[in-house]
Amino acid sequence: MTTESPQAAGSRSRAWPTLNHVERGALREVLIHGPLPRAEIARRLGVSRASLTRVTRTLVEHGLIVEGAIEQRAWTGRPSELFEIAPPGRHFFGVKLTGDTIFAAVTDLSAREIATAEERLVSREPSDVVARIAAVFAGFAEVFDDIVAGGVCIAGDLTQDRKMIVDSPFLGWKDVPLARILTDELGIPVATENDVRALTATEQWFGAGAGCSSLALVTVGTGIGFGFSIGDRLVTGSHGRAGRLDHLKIDNAGPLCADGHRGCASVYLTNGSIVRALHGLAADYPAAVALGRAGQPAAVRAFRDAGVALGTLIATVANGFDPEKIILTGDGLAVWELAESEIRTTIDEVLSTGSEPIVLDVQPFQFNEWARAAAVVGIRTVLRF
């Protein structure tokens, strides 16, 4: 386990306080927008300054915010105290589950990663996975005695209320109530979420999408993922399956994907599909990227085909959702490096006539972002988002 500036063990334990909706709203505004004066928080929430004074006093007493710098308000000439998140302001536990590994993190209330751990799974049985997560959590709890909530994110489908993992193909799970099991096991509220939706929420509150009224996120890599948010609400769909665009048709004459769809995006754009397109010339995705960078013809063609698929997907998201911003990330971002021209050309071809230009933000990706995103699921849970 790696840690940064750990809280001393044995300090006073601090449970998450019971907050009303205005108190949660004020805390959320400071979380997302950074230090804010009392008057601005009141304006954003539509409450009086007197009411907001009581709210901020409560949040300060609970150790969630502090009065920081003084802002000189030019239009009145009067100084105004800025409220900001208190360090550390409680800690949160996050886990990203793959088919063979637990990636875990502890963050503070501002979603800053404080500690990480990684452990291989020796069994995918739910009871064994829960036991290993509990052991990782216990190691963190020896250092941080104020972990108040947690989140677990997976690749797969969940019920709309996120309480049941309906299907997780990498783990081979069906109908596993992981949130309830871990809440009972760890003694803190734990929520589960699809990994791409968790990352979308993290980007909207703490990343490149902070402050956006609507946001779409596209991930490329082992799979293709989509997340959508309107306001502060993640779009889940009636059956918890919103964002299933990985089998969008790209070429009617294209090859078949593993699910039997001909010429869909997944047969061109995933890391594995790019490797397969090279017919043995590359053993894995890094080797395929190296061939593409070296100008090897088959690799260049494979990445260009992937670029066309990605451009089609991005424009389709823009046409159907009209987000303020689209974030592109994932461990397959080499396709942007090697096929940006094809991506942009295809976007222009597919984007509806008269549409506003797409605001596309390409974000570098580190795998530990998934565990941090899971911790943000915990943050959003205590704030009831």
Q: What is the pLDDT of residue 256?
A: 94
Cα–Cα distance list, 127 to 43, 217, 272, 374 (Å): 48, 32, 30, 20
12 in a structural domain? no
Q: What is the pLDDT of residue 160?
A: 83
Cβ-count burial of 373 within 10 angstroms (0-12 exposed, 13-18 middle, 19+ buried)? buried
Q: Which domain holds residue 248?
A: 210-362
For residues 14 and 4, the model is more confident at: 14
191 in a structural domain? yes
Quote the number of domains for the chain: 3
Mean pLDDT of the chain: 92
pLDDT in tens, 353-377: 999 999 999 999 888 899 999 999 9
Distance CA 226, CA 322 (A): 14
For residues 88 and 361, the model is more confident at: 361
Q: What is the pLDDT of residue 6?
A: 45
Q: Any bridge partners for residue 91, and if so which?
A: 108, 147
Residue 171 CB partners (closer than 8 Å, separation 6+): 97, 99, 124, 129, 154, 156
**pLDDT bucket at 303, cuts 50 / 70 / 90:** very high
Same domain, yes or no: 115 and 238: no
284 in a structural domain? yes
39 in a structural domain? yes
Whether the predicted pLDDT of 10 surpasses 80: no
Q: What is the pLDDT of residue 240?
A: 81
* Residue among 27, 26, 37, 31 nearest 81 (CA): 37
Angle at 241 between CA 236 and CA 245, to 5 degrees: 110
**pLDDT bucket at 41, cuts 50 / 70 / 90:** very high
Same domain, yes or no: 233 and 312: yes
Q: Which two tokens stand for residue 103?
A: 């990636």
CATH number, domain with residue 57 = 1.10.10.10
Whether the predicted pLDDT of 103 surpasses 90: yes
Cα–Cα distance list, 335 to 271, 340, 357 (Å): 9, 7, 21
Q: What is the pLDDT of residue 75?
A: 47
* Residue among 357, 258, 341, 280 nearest 306 (CA): 341
Whether the predicted pLDDT of 136 surpasses 90: yes
Whether the predicted pLDDT of 273 surpasses 90: yes
**pLDDT bucket at 338, cuts 50 / 70 / 90:** very high
Same domain, yes or no: 222 and 342: yes
Same domain, yes or no: 56 and 105: no
Same domain, yes or no: 147 and 269: no
For residues 318 and 232, the model is more confident at: 318
| Alpha-carbon 54 to chain mean position | 33
For residues 163 and 307, the model is more confident at: 307
pLDDT in tens, 202-217: 999 999 998 898 999 9
Distance CA 285, CA 238 (A): 35
11 in a structural domain? no
Q: What is the pLDDT of residue 220?
A: 97
315 in a structural domain? yes
* Residue among 153, 232, 164, 243 nearest 193 (CA): 153
Tell me what the mean pLDDT of segment 252-257 comes to.
93
* C-beta of residue 361 within 8 angstroms of C-beta of residue 327: yes
Same domain, yes or no: 23 and 124: no
145 in a structural domain? yes
Same domain, yes or no: 220 and 346: yes
Distance CA 327, CA 344 (A): 14
* C-beta of residue 224 within 8 angstroms of C-beta of residue 265: yes
Q: Any bridge partners for residue 167, and if so which?
A: 157, 174
pLDDT in tens, 192-201: 999 999 999 9
Same domain, yes or no: 249 and 193: no
| Domain end point (choices 41, 59, 85) | 85
CATH number, domain with residue 376 = 3.30.420.40
Buried b (16+ CB within 10 A) or exposed e, 186-216: bebbbbbbbbbbbbbbbbbbbbbbeebebbb
Q: What is the pLDDT of residue 11?
A: 38
Instruction: Average the pLDDT over each of 2-11, 136-145, 345-354 and give the range with the smallest value.
Output: 2-11
Same domain, yes or no: 254 and 158: no
Whether the predicted pLDDT of 315 surpasses 90: yes
Same domain, yes or no: 173 and 291: no
Q: Helices (DSSP H) in 142-265: which residue ranges?
A: 178-186, 195-206
**pLDDT bucket at 266, cuts 50 / 70 / 90:** very high
Same domain, yes or no: 139 and 248: no
* C-beta of residue 65 within 8 angstroms of C-beta of residue 27: yes
Q: What is the pLDDT of residue 185?
A: 97
Sequence-distant contacts of 351-357: CB under 8 A, at least 24 apart: 351/315, 351/318, 351/319, 352/319, 355/318, 355/319, 355/322
Q: What is the pLDDT of residue 9?
A: 36
Whether the predicted pLDDT of 13 surpasses 50: no
Which residue type sits at 61?
E
